[in-house]
Copies of this chain bind each other. A is one copy, B any other.
């Protein structure tokens, strides 16, 4: 697929002046609102500017290309997700596996659940932009956070932590996505965390070796 199309690709600028932060925020919010209200194909710079209450010209002062704007929105979303995971992982360092799994599962279900519509909309954005690279970066951050966490488990050691982490993440995320992509029933949403904790813990304990004494 052609990826060299855009000259200056994702050349995005950060808000330069602190006092114009409000404008940037407004544009940001407007973008997501338009995305949710109209869908990606109808998301135009003019529409975003209108909803943000600024002129197109102004918008272009901060995001010199439409893609830059979209990329920025996507980026913020992904960063928040990564941050949440990292925080959760950090908060249970040194705990036992059970504790870890419970915390992480809760955090994941939480993020995925709360901004469902936004996530879906941004999914289309990620598919259209050539954002694979950035998405991979985020995934790697998540993976690293989980692995670092697992390595501090009070009650287990792993021979191949990388693989264990990978499977852990996969097993946890699979059912969540499956559920969210459908029309999640309340019952299933209620049952899910418990079941997830169950599988993940089972898997981790199966792969775990007793911790080194001392």
Contact = CB atoms under 8 A, between A and B. Distances in A.
Interface of A: 1-3, 5, 36-42, 121, 123-124, 127-128, 130, 135-136, 139, 163, 166-167, 169-179, 181-183, 188, 191, 195, 198-199, 202-203, 206
A175 B181 contact: no
Contacts of A40: 127-128
**Number of copies of chain A assembled together:** 4
Given A1-B37, A1-B39, A123-B127, A170 B181 contact: no
A207 to B, nearest CB: 9
A61 B191 CA distance: 50
Nearest to A132: B181
A199 B167 contact: yes
A38 B1 contact: yes
